[in-house]
Amino acid sequence: MSMIQIEHLTFSYPGSFDTIFEDVSLQLDTDWKLGCIGRNGRGKTTLFRLLMGQYTYSGTITSSVQFDYFPYPVTKPERLTEEVLQEICPIAEQWELMRELSFLEVEPEVLWRSFATLSHGEQTKVLLAALFLNEGHFLLIDEPTNHLDVRARALVSAYLKRKKGYILISHDRHVLDGCVDHILSLNRADIQVQSGNFFSWMENFQRQQSFEQAQNERLKKDIGRLQQAAQRSAVWSDRVEASKVSAADKGYVGHKAAKMMKRSKAMEARQQQAIRQKSMLLKNTETAEPLKLSPLTYHGDLLVSFSGVSVQYDGNAVCEPVSFMVRRGERVVLDGKNGSGKSSLLKLLLGEPIAHTGRVTVSSGLIISYVPQDASGLQGNLSEFARENQIEESLFKAILRKMDFERSQFDKDIREFSGGQKKKVLLARSLCQQAHLYVWDEPLNYIDIYSRMQMEQLLEEYAPAMVFVEHDQAFRDAVATKIVEICPLNGT
Protein backbone atom coordinates (compact mmCIF):
# COMPACT_ATOMS: atom_id res chain seq x y z
CA MET A 1 0.00 0.00 0.00
CA SER A 2 1.19 3.51 -0.87
CA MET A 3 -0.36 6.91 -1.37
CA ILE A 4 -0.93 9.26 -4.28
CA GLN A 5 -0.54 12.77 -2.88
CA ILE A 6 -1.98 15.78 -4.74
CA GLU A 7 -1.28 19.15 -3.14
CA HIS A 8 -2.52 22.60 -4.24
CA LEU A 9 -3.09 21.46 -7.83
CA THR A 10 -4.13 24.30 -10.14
CA PHE A 11 -4.56 23.86 -13.88
CA SER A 12 -6.14 25.53 -16.89
CA TYR A 13 -5.57 24.87 -20.57
CA PRO A 14 -3.26 27.33 -22.36
CA GLY A 15 -5.19 30.30 -23.73
CA SER A 16 -8.31 29.43 -21.71
CA PHE A 17 -9.86 31.63 -19.04
CA ASP A 18 -11.59 28.59 -17.48
CA THR A 19 -9.75 27.03 -14.55
CA ILE A 20 -10.26 23.27 -14.53
CA PHE A 21 -8.73 22.72 -11.09
CA GLU A 22 -7.91 25.32 -8.46
CA ASP A 23 -5.92 24.60 -5.29
CA VAL A 24 -6.98 20.92 -5.15
CA SER A 25 -5.46 18.71 -2.46
CA LEU A 26 -6.20 14.96 -2.29
CA GLN A 27 -4.73 11.80 -0.83
CA LEU A 28 -5.57 8.49 -2.55
CA ASP A 29 -4.66 4.98 -1.42
CA THR A 30 -3.22 2.86 -4.25
CA ASP A 31 -5.17 -0.18 -2.98
CA TRP A 32 -8.52 1.55 -3.52
CA LYS A 33 -10.99 0.80 -6.30
CA LEU A 34 -12.05 4.35 -7.11
CA GLY A 35 -15.05 5.33 -9.21
CA CYS A 36 -14.59 8.81 -10.67
CA ILE A 37 -17.82 10.72 -11.36
CA GLY A 38 -18.76 14.26 -12.33
CA ARG A 39 -20.54 16.35 -14.91
CA ASN A 40 -19.32 16.38 -18.51
CA GLY A 41 -16.50 18.86 -18.97
CA ARG A 42 -15.58 18.96 -15.28
CA GLY A 43 -12.08 17.54 -15.81
CA LYS A 44 -12.17 13.78 -15.21
CA THR A 45 -10.02 12.86 -18.22
CA THR A 46 -7.89 15.98 -17.63
CA LEU A 47 -7.11 14.68 -14.13
CA PHE A 48 -5.92 11.41 -15.68
CA ARG A 49 -3.66 13.27 -18.07
CA LEU A 50 -2.21 15.32 -15.24
CA LEU A 51 -1.45 12.13 -13.31
CA MET A 52 0.23 10.78 -16.45
CA GLY A 53 2.42 13.92 -16.54
CA GLN A 54 1.13 15.15 -19.89
CA TYR A 55 0.48 18.78 -18.86
CA THR A 56 2.29 21.54 -16.98
CA TYR A 57 0.52 22.55 -13.77
CA SER A 58 1.14 24.33 -10.48
CA GLY A 59 1.17 22.38 -7.24
CA THR A 60 2.56 18.88 -6.71
CA ILE A 61 1.56 15.30 -7.56
CA THR A 62 3.61 12.70 -5.69
CA SER A 63 3.34 8.94 -6.13
CA SER A 64 5.53 5.87 -5.84
CA VAL A 65 3.51 3.93 -8.43
CA GLN A 66 3.60 4.03 -12.21
CA PHE A 67 0.37 5.04 -13.93
CA ASP A 68 -1.08 3.17 -16.91
CA TYR A 69 -3.90 4.62 -18.99
CA PHE A 70 -6.85 2.80 -20.56
CA PRO A 71 -7.59 2.77 -23.46
CA TYR A 72 -4.00 1.88 -24.29
CA PRO A 73 -2.96 3.40 -27.66
CA VAL A 74 -2.32 0.48 -30.04
CA THR A 75 -0.07 1.89 -32.76
CA LYS A 76 -0.07 -1.10 -35.13
CA PRO A 77 -3.43 -2.87 -34.79
CA GLU A 78 -2.67 -5.13 -37.75
CA ARG A 79 -0.29 -7.11 -35.51
CA LEU A 80 -1.32 -10.28 -33.72
CA THR A 81 -3.09 -9.60 -30.45
CA GLU A 82 -0.41 -11.59 -28.62
CA GLU A 83 2.27 -9.19 -29.92
CA VAL A 84 0.25 -6.15 -28.88
CA LEU A 85 -0.19 -7.54 -25.37
CA GLN A 86 3.49 -8.45 -25.05
CA GLU A 87 4.26 -4.78 -25.69
CA ILE A 88 1.87 -3.75 -22.89
CA CYS A 89 2.95 -6.34 -20.29
CA PRO A 90 6.33 -7.73 -21.42
CA ILE A 91 7.00 -9.76 -18.25
CA ALA A 92 3.64 -11.57 -18.20
CA GLU A 93 3.57 -15.28 -19.05
CA GLN A 94 1.15 -16.55 -21.70
CA TRP A 95 -0.69 -18.70 -19.14
CA GLU A 96 -1.30 -15.57 -17.07
CA LEU A 97 -2.85 -13.81 -20.06
CA MET A 98 -5.07 -16.81 -20.77
CA ARG A 99 -6.15 -16.93 -17.13
CA GLU A 100 -7.17 -13.24 -17.19
CA LEU A 101 -9.01 -13.68 -20.48
CA SER A 102 -10.95 -16.60 -19.02
CA PHE A 103 -12.23 -14.33 -16.25
CA LEU A 104 -13.59 -12.04 -18.99
CA GLU A 105 -14.97 -14.95 -21.05
CA VAL A 106 -12.68 -14.25 -24.00
CA GLU A 107 -11.57 -17.27 -26.03
CA PRO A 108 -7.76 -17.84 -26.03
CA GLU A 109 -7.74 -17.98 -29.86
CA VAL A 110 -8.02 -14.18 -30.00
CA LEU A 111 -4.32 -14.04 -29.09
CA TRP A 112 -3.46 -15.36 -32.54
CA ARG A 113 -5.79 -13.07 -34.45
CA SER A 114 -4.97 -9.59 -35.69
CA PHE A 115 -5.92 -7.05 -33.03
CA ALA A 116 -7.76 -5.04 -35.69
CA THR A 117 -10.16 -7.96 -36.33
CA LEU A 118 -11.30 -8.11 -32.70
CA SER A 119 -14.67 -6.60 -31.80
CA HIS A 120 -14.74 -3.46 -29.67
CA GLY A 121 -15.70 -5.55 -26.65
CA GLU A 122 -12.87 -8.04 -27.22
CA GLN A 123 -10.35 -5.21 -27.60
CA THR A 124 -11.57 -3.64 -24.35
CA LYS A 125 -11.26 -6.92 -22.46
CA VAL A 126 -7.82 -7.97 -23.71
CA LEU A 127 -6.33 -4.51 -23.05
CA LEU A 128 -7.73 -4.47 -19.50
CA ALA A 129 -6.37 -7.97 -18.88
CA ALA A 130 -2.90 -6.99 -20.08
CA LEU A 131 -2.76 -3.74 -18.11
CA PHE A 132 -3.69 -5.48 -14.87
CA LEU A 133 -0.79 -7.90 -15.36
CA ASN A 134 1.65 -5.00 -14.89
CA GLU A 135 2.11 -5.66 -11.20
CA GLY A 136 2.49 -2.59 -9.02
CA HIS A 137 1.05 -0.22 -11.63
CA PHE A 138 -1.99 1.97 -10.91
CA LEU A 139 -4.61 2.01 -13.68
CA LEU A 140 -6.45 5.07 -14.92
CA ILE A 141 -9.45 3.54 -16.71
CA ASP A 142 -11.39 6.00 -18.89
CA GLU A 143 -14.96 4.89 -19.69
CA PRO A 144 -14.21 1.29 -20.72
CA THR A 145 -17.86 0.24 -21.16
CA ASN A 146 -18.97 2.74 -23.81
CA HIS A 147 -20.46 0.77 -26.74
CA LEU A 148 -20.34 -2.50 -24.75
CA ASP A 149 -23.58 -4.48 -24.47
CA VAL A 150 -25.24 -5.18 -21.11
CA ARG A 151 -23.64 -8.59 -20.61
CA ALA A 152 -20.16 -7.35 -21.53
CA ARG A 153 -20.54 -4.45 -19.08
CA ALA A 154 -21.46 -6.88 -16.31
CA LEU A 155 -18.39 -9.02 -17.11
CA VAL A 156 -16.06 -5.99 -17.05
CA SER A 157 -17.57 -4.81 -13.76
CA ALA A 158 -17.17 -8.27 -12.19
CA TYR A 159 -13.56 -8.41 -13.45
CA LEU A 160 -12.73 -5.01 -11.94
CA LYS A 161 -14.23 -6.13 -8.63
CA ARG A 162 -11.50 -8.82 -8.46
CA LYS A 163 -8.81 -6.17 -8.87
CA LYS A 164 -7.56 -3.19 -6.90
CA GLY A 165 -5.47 -0.10 -7.54
CA TYR A 166 -7.39 1.88 -10.13
CA ILE A 167 -9.56 4.90 -10.86
CA LEU A 168 -12.51 4.14 -13.12
CA ILE A 169 -14.32 6.91 -14.98
CA SER A 170 -17.83 5.66 -15.67
CA HIS A 171 -21.36 7.04 -15.92
CA ASP A 172 -22.98 3.60 -15.69
CA ARG A 173 -24.51 3.26 -12.23
CA HIS A 174 -24.71 -0.55 -12.37
CA VAL A 175 -21.05 -0.86 -13.39
CA LEU A 176 -19.91 1.44 -10.57
CA ASP A 177 -22.03 -0.30 -7.95
CA GLY A 178 -20.62 -3.65 -9.05
CA CYS A 179 -16.91 -2.95 -8.60
CA VAL A 180 -15.78 0.20 -6.70
CA ASP A 181 -15.18 0.73 -2.98
CA HIS A 182 -14.59 4.50 -3.08
CA ILE A 183 -16.07 7.39 -5.06
CA LEU A 184 -13.95 10.30 -6.29
CA SER A 185 -16.48 13.03 -7.01
CA LEU A 186 -15.60 16.10 -9.08
CA ASN A 187 -18.21 18.46 -7.70
CA ARG A 188 -19.22 21.96 -8.72
CA ALA A 189 -17.10 23.62 -6.01
CA ASP A 190 -14.65 20.96 -4.83
CA ILE A 191 -13.40 17.38 -5.17
CA GLN A 192 -14.34 14.81 -2.53
CA VAL A 193 -13.45 11.20 -1.79
CA GLN A 194 -15.92 8.96 0.02
CA SER A 195 -15.88 5.28 0.95
CA GLY A 196 -18.57 3.10 -0.66
CA ASN A 197 -20.15 2.54 -4.06
CA PHE A 198 -22.17 4.93 -6.21
CA PHE A 199 -25.49 4.12 -4.54
CA SER A 200 -24.21 4.94 -1.04
CA TRP A 201 -22.47 8.06 -2.34
CA MET A 202 -25.66 9.31 -4.01
CA GLU A 203 -27.68 8.67 -0.86
CA ASN A 204 -25.21 10.68 1.22
CA PHE A 205 -24.96 13.44 -1.39
CA GLN A 206 -28.74 13.86 -1.58
CA ARG A 207 -29.03 13.75 2.22
CA GLN A 208 -26.38 16.48 2.49
CA GLN A 209 -28.12 18.61 -0.14
CA SER A 210 -31.47 18.25 1.64
CA PHE A 211 -29.88 19.26 4.94
CA GLU A 212 -28.19 22.27 3.35
CA GLN A 213 -31.41 23.26 1.59
CA ALA A 214 -33.25 23.26 4.93
CA GLN A 215 -30.41 25.24 6.53
CA ASN A 216 -30.50 27.68 3.63
CA GLU A 217 -34.24 28.29 4.04
CA ARG A 218 -33.88 28.77 7.80
CA LEU A 219 -31.01 31.23 7.37
CA LYS A 220 -32.95 33.18 4.72
CA LYS A 221 -35.78 33.68 7.23
CA ASP A 222 -33.32 34.54 10.04
CA ILE A 223 -31.56 37.10 7.85
CA GLY A 224 -34.85 38.79 6.95
CA ARG A 225 -36.05 38.81 10.57
CA LEU A 226 -32.74 40.16 11.90
CA GLN A 227 -32.63 42.82 9.21
CA GLN A 228 -36.10 44.09 10.14
CA ALA A 229 -35.34 43.98 13.88
CA ALA A 230 -32.05 45.87 13.42
CA GLN A 231 -33.80 48.55 11.40
CA ARG A 232 -36.50 48.94 14.09
CA SER A 233 -33.88 49.23 16.84
CA ALA A 234 -31.95 51.85 14.86
CA VAL A 235 -35.12 53.89 14.30
CA TRP A 236 -36.03 53.67 17.99
CA SER A 237 -32.49 54.74 18.97
CA ASP A 238 -32.67 57.77 16.66
CA ARG A 239 -36.05 58.77 18.08
CA VAL A 240 -34.87 58.45 21.68
CA GLU A 241 -31.71 60.42 20.87
CA ALA A 242 -33.83 63.16 19.31
CA SER A 243 -36.00 63.35 22.45
CA LYS A 244 -32.93 64.38 24.54
CA VAL A 245 -33.44 67.99 23.46
CA SER A 246 -36.55 68.45 25.65
CA ALA A 247 -35.87 65.75 28.23
CA ALA A 248 -35.34 66.63 31.90
CA ASP A 249 -32.87 63.74 32.45
CA LYS A 250 -30.65 63.82 29.37
CA GLY A 251 -28.22 61.23 30.83
CA TYR A 252 -30.92 58.60 31.24
CA VAL A 253 -32.29 59.21 27.74
CA GLY A 254 -28.79 59.06 26.23
CA HIS A 255 -28.09 55.78 28.02
CA LYS A 256 -31.34 54.34 26.69
CA ALA A 257 -30.50 55.43 23.13
CA ALA A 258 -27.01 53.92 23.36
CA LYS A 259 -28.48 50.64 24.62
CA MET A 260 -30.87 50.48 21.68
CA MET A 261 -28.07 51.26 19.22
CA LYS A 262 -25.91 48.52 20.77
CA ARG A 263 -28.79 46.08 20.34
CA SER A 264 -29.14 47.14 16.70
CA LYS A 265 -25.40 46.59 16.08
CA ALA A 266 -25.58 43.13 17.68
CA MET A 267 -28.46 42.18 15.39
CA GLU A 268 -26.50 43.41 12.37
CA ALA A 269 -23.53 41.26 13.43
CA ARG A 270 -25.77 38.20 13.78
CA GLN A 271 -27.23 38.98 10.37
CA GLN A 272 -23.77 39.12 8.77
CA GLN A 273 -22.83 35.83 10.44
CA ALA A 274 -26.00 34.22 9.04
CA ILE A 275 -25.17 35.57 5.57
CA ARG A 276 -21.67 34.05 5.80
CA GLN A 277 -23.11 30.70 6.88
CA LYS A 278 -25.62 30.81 4.02
CA SER A 279 -22.87 31.52 1.48
CA MET A 280 -21.15 28.26 2.46
CA LEU A 281 -24.23 26.17 1.63
CA LEU A 282 -25.34 24.49 -1.61
CA LYS A 283 -22.07 25.12 -3.44
CA ASN A 284 -22.15 21.60 -4.85
CA THR A 285 -25.83 21.50 -5.74
CA GLU A 286 -26.34 19.71 -9.05
CA THR A 287 -29.42 21.25 -10.59
CA ALA A 288 -31.18 19.20 -13.24
CA GLU A 289 -34.07 21.36 -14.38
CA PRO A 290 -36.94 19.43 -15.96
CA LEU A 291 -36.68 19.17 -19.74
CA LYS A 292 -39.63 19.44 -22.10
CA LEU A 293 -40.58 17.52 -25.21
CA SER A 294 -43.36 18.10 -27.74
CA PRO A 295 -43.98 14.76 -29.47
CA LEU A 296 -46.50 14.73 -32.30
CA THR A 297 -49.54 12.48 -32.03
CA TYR A 298 -49.86 10.12 -34.98
CA HIS A 299 -53.40 9.55 -36.31
CA GLY A 300 -53.06 5.76 -36.16
CA ASP A 301 -51.95 3.36 -33.44
CA LEU A 302 -49.31 1.45 -35.45
CA LEU A 303 -46.13 3.38 -36.33
CA VAL A 304 -43.59 0.79 -37.47
CA SER A 305 -43.51 -2.96 -38.06
CA PHE A 306 -40.61 -5.36 -38.65
CA SER A 307 -41.53 -8.73 -40.15
CA GLY A 308 -38.88 -11.47 -40.37
CA VAL A 309 -36.07 -8.89 -40.70
CA SER A 310 -32.44 -10.02 -40.62
CA VAL A 311 -29.54 -7.69 -41.41
CA GLN A 312 -26.90 -8.95 -43.85
CA TYR A 313 -23.20 -8.10 -43.99
CA ASP A 314 -21.32 -9.21 -47.12
CA GLY A 315 -24.26 -11.38 -48.08
CA ASN A 316 -24.37 -13.18 -44.73
CA ALA A 317 -27.15 -12.73 -42.17
CA VAL A 318 -25.82 -11.54 -38.80
CA CYS A 319 -28.95 -12.06 -36.70
CA GLU A 320 -31.94 -14.33 -36.57
CA PRO A 321 -35.07 -12.89 -38.21
CA VAL A 322 -36.85 -10.50 -35.88
CA SER A 323 -40.48 -9.38 -35.90
CA PHE A 324 -42.00 -6.66 -33.75
CA MET A 325 -44.26 -3.60 -33.89
CA VAL A 326 -43.96 -0.11 -32.44
CA ARG A 327 -47.20 1.52 -31.36
CA ARG A 328 -48.03 4.96 -30.01
CA GLY A 329 -46.57 5.53 -26.53
CA GLU A 330 -44.29 2.49 -26.65
CA ARG A 331 -40.59 2.81 -25.89
CA VAL A 332 -38.93 -0.21 -27.46
CA VAL A 333 -35.33 -1.09 -26.64
CA LEU A 334 -33.38 -3.36 -28.98
CA ASP A 335 -31.28 -5.71 -26.87
CA GLY A 336 -28.45 -7.89 -28.10
CA LYS A 337 -24.73 -8.47 -28.17
CA ASN A 338 -22.35 -6.10 -29.93
CA GLY A 339 -22.31 -6.86 -33.64
CA SER A 340 -25.80 -8.37 -33.73
CA GLY A 341 -27.10 -5.64 -36.06
CA LYS A 342 -29.04 -3.38 -33.68
CA SER A 343 -27.80 -0.09 -35.18
CA SER A 344 -28.42 -1.43 -38.67
CA LEU A 345 -32.03 -2.18 -37.76
CA LEU A 346 -32.45 1.43 -36.67
CA LYS A 347 -30.97 2.62 -39.97
CA LEU A 348 -33.34 0.37 -41.90
CA LEU A 349 -36.20 2.09 -40.07
CA LEU A 350 -34.76 5.41 -41.28
CA GLY A 351 -34.80 4.17 -44.87
CA GLU A 352 -31.08 3.62 -45.37
CA PRO A 353 -30.17 1.06 -48.08
CA ILE A 354 -28.84 -1.79 -45.90
CA ALA A 355 -28.99 -5.36 -47.18
CA HIS A 356 -31.58 -7.39 -45.31
CA THR A 357 -34.24 -10.03 -45.53
CA GLY A 358 -37.83 -9.56 -44.41
CA ARG A 359 -39.88 -6.38 -44.47
CA VAL A 360 -39.78 -3.05 -42.63
CA THR A 361 -42.98 -0.99 -42.83
CA VAL A 362 -43.05 2.65 -41.74
CA SER A 363 -46.50 4.23 -41.54
CA SER A 364 -47.25 6.97 -44.07
CA GLY A 365 -46.29 10.51 -43.08
CA LEU A 366 -44.41 9.40 -39.96
CA ILE A 367 -41.96 12.07 -38.75
CA ILE A 368 -38.84 10.65 -37.09
CA SER A 369 -36.17 12.34 -34.94
CA TYR A 370 -32.84 10.52 -34.92
CA VAL A 371 -29.85 10.58 -32.54
CA PRO A 372 -26.90 8.75 -34.15
CA GLN A 373 -24.32 6.82 -32.20
CA ASP A 374 -21.33 8.81 -33.49
CA ALA A 375 -20.89 12.47 -32.53
CA SER A 376 -17.20 12.80 -33.44
CA GLY A 377 -17.73 14.71 -36.71
CA LEU A 378 -19.56 17.70 -35.21
CA GLN A 379 -18.01 21.11 -35.86
CA GLY A 380 -18.80 24.80 -35.91
CA ASN A 381 -20.41 26.76 -33.08
CA LEU A 382 -23.86 26.08 -31.66
CA SER A 383 -25.53 28.90 -33.60
CA GLU A 384 -24.25 27.48 -36.87
CA PHE A 385 -25.34 23.98 -35.81
CA ALA A 386 -28.87 25.24 -35.08
CA ARG A 387 -29.15 26.97 -38.47
CA GLU A 388 -27.85 23.93 -40.37
CA ASN A 389 -30.35 21.66 -38.60
CA GLN A 390 -33.25 24.12 -38.91
CA ILE A 391 -34.03 24.17 -35.21
CA GLU A 392 -34.91 27.17 -33.06
CA GLU A 393 -31.61 28.50 -31.68
CA SER A 394 -33.01 29.99 -28.45
CA LEU A 395 -34.82 26.75 -27.55
CA PHE A 396 -31.76 24.66 -28.48
CA LYS A 397 -29.47 26.70 -26.22
CA ALA A 398 -32.02 26.79 -23.40
CA ILE A 399 -32.09 22.96 -23.42
CA LEU A 400 -28.30 22.82 -23.35
CA ARG A 401 -28.24 25.24 -20.41
CA LYS A 402 -30.56 22.88 -18.55
CA MET A 403 -28.12 20.07 -19.42
CA ASP A 404 -25.32 21.95 -17.58
CA PHE A 405 -23.77 23.85 -20.49
CA GLU A 406 -22.08 27.10 -19.45
CA ARG A 407 -22.76 30.16 -21.61
CA SER A 408 -19.01 30.30 -22.34
CA GLN A 409 -19.46 27.08 -24.38
CA PHE A 410 -21.85 28.72 -26.83
CA ASP A 411 -19.16 30.46 -28.90
CA LYS A 412 -16.68 27.58 -28.92
CA ASP A 413 -16.21 25.21 -31.82
CA ILE A 414 -18.03 21.94 -31.07
CA ARG A 415 -14.79 20.10 -31.89
CA GLU A 416 -13.44 21.45 -28.55
CA PHE A 417 -16.29 19.86 -26.58
CA SER A 418 -15.88 16.68 -24.53
CA GLY A 419 -17.44 13.47 -25.84
CA GLY A 420 -20.37 13.86 -23.44
CA GLN A 421 -20.97 17.48 -24.45
CA LYS A 422 -21.06 16.50 -28.12
CA LYS A 423 -23.64 13.81 -27.39
CA LYS A 424 -25.72 16.37 -25.48
CA VAL A 425 -25.72 18.56 -28.61
CA LEU A 426 -27.31 15.69 -30.58
CA LEU A 427 -29.83 14.99 -27.82
CA ALA A 428 -30.77 18.67 -27.54
CA ARG A 429 -31.34 18.77 -31.31
CA SER A 430 -33.71 15.81 -31.03
CA LEU A 431 -35.59 17.43 -28.14
CA CYS A 432 -36.11 20.52 -30.32
CA GLN A 433 -37.71 18.43 -33.05
CA GLN A 434 -41.40 17.59 -33.00
CA ALA A 435 -41.74 14.00 -34.14
CA HIS A 436 -44.08 11.03 -34.03
CA LEU A 437 -41.19 8.64 -33.29
CA TYR A 438 -37.79 9.16 -31.63
CA VAL A 439 -35.02 6.82 -32.78
CA TRP A 440 -31.95 7.01 -30.53
CA ASP A 441 -28.80 4.93 -31.03
CA GLU A 442 -26.78 4.63 -27.79
CA PRO A 443 -27.74 8.19 -26.74
CA LEU A 444 -26.03 8.02 -23.34
CA ASN A 445 -22.43 7.23 -24.34
CA TYR A 446 -20.17 9.68 -22.43
CA ILE A 447 -23.22 11.42 -20.87
CA ASP A 448 -22.92 12.18 -17.15
CA ILE A 449 -25.09 10.50 -14.52
CA TYR A 450 -27.17 13.58 -13.69
CA SER A 451 -28.14 14.08 -17.33
CA ARG A 452 -29.04 10.39 -17.61
CA MET A 453 -31.47 10.73 -14.72
CA GLN A 454 -32.77 13.97 -16.27
CA MET A 455 -33.51 12.07 -19.51
CA GLU A 456 -35.26 9.30 -17.59
CA GLN A 457 -37.60 11.83 -15.96
CA LEU A 458 -38.31 13.50 -19.31
CA LEU A 459 -39.23 10.26 -21.11
CA GLU A 460 -41.34 8.98 -18.23
CA GLU A 461 -43.28 12.27 -18.13
CA TYR A 462 -43.90 12.79 -21.87
CA ALA A 463 -44.01 9.11 -22.90
CA PRO A 464 -43.04 9.57 -26.57
CA ALA A 465 -42.95 6.65 -29.00
CA MET A 466 -39.35 5.47 -29.22
CA VAL A 467 -37.09 2.80 -30.63
CA PHE A 468 -33.65 2.91 -29.06
CA VAL A 469 -30.44 1.03 -28.40
CA GLU A 470 -28.89 1.63 -24.98
CA HIS A 471 -26.77 -0.55 -22.69
CA ASP A 472 -27.21 1.42 -19.45
CA GLN A 473 -29.31 -1.03 -17.43
CA ALA A 474 -30.64 1.60 -15.01
CA PHE A 475 -31.84 3.78 -17.91
CA ARG A 476 -33.47 0.83 -19.68
CA ASP A 477 -35.24 -0.26 -16.51
CA ALA A 478 -36.64 3.25 -16.05
CA VAL A 479 -37.63 3.99 -19.65
CA ALA A 480 -38.35 0.90 -21.77
CA THR A 481 -41.88 -0.47 -22.09
CA LYS A 482 -40.84 -3.36 -24.36
CA ILE A 483 -37.62 -5.28 -25.00
CA VAL A 484 -36.89 -6.87 -28.38
CA GLU A 485 -34.12 -9.49 -28.30
CA ILE A 486 -31.77 -9.46 -31.30
CA CYS A 487 -30.04 -12.84 -31.44
CA PRO A 488 -26.79 -13.29 -33.39
CA LEU A 489 -27.21 -15.98 -36.03
CA ASN A 490 -24.35 -18.08 -34.64
CA GLY A 491 -25.77 -17.81 -31.11
CA THR A 492 -22.57 -16.35 -29.66
Please determine whether the domains at 3-197 and 302-485 fall in the same fold group of CATH.
Answer: yes
Least confident window among 25-39, 232-246, 289-303, 466-480 = 232-246
Q: Is the pLDDT of residue 131 over 60?
A: yes
pLDDT (mean) for 383-394: 97
Least confident window among 151-165, 217-231, 325-339, 404-418 = 217-231
Q: Is the pLDDT of residue 157 over 70?
A: yes
pLDDT (mean) for 384-395: 97
Name the more confident of 399 and 264: 399
What pLDDT score does 369 carry?
Answer: 98
44-48, 146-150, 252-256, 263-267: range with highest mean pLDDT = 44-48
Least confident window among 10-19, 101-110, 169-178 = 10-19
* Fold for the domain defined by 302-485: Rossmann fold (3.40.50)
Up-side HSE of residue 54: CA atoms within 13 Å toward CB? 12
Residue spans per domain, the chain: 3-197, 204-279, 302-485
Name the more confident of 259 and 472: 472
CA angle 367, 370, 405 (to 5 degrees): 125
User: Using alpha carbons only, how large is the chain's radius of gyration in Å?
Assistant: 29
Nearest CA to 435 out of 303, 338, 298, 295 is that of: 295
Architecture of domain 3-197: 3-Layer(aba) Sandwich (3.40)
pLDDT (mean) for 122-130: 95
What pLDDT score does 408 carry?
Answer: 87
What pLDDT score does 244 carry?
Answer: 52
pLDDT (mean) for 291-319: 94
> Is 0.85 topped by the overall pTM?
no
What pLDDT score does 241 carry?
Answer: 55
Q: What percent of the chain has pLDDT above 70? A: 87
Q: Is the pLDDT of residue 492 over 50?
A: no
Structure confidence by residue, pLDDT tens digits, 71-93? 999 999 999 999 999 999 999 99
What pLDDT score does 222 carry?
Answer: 67
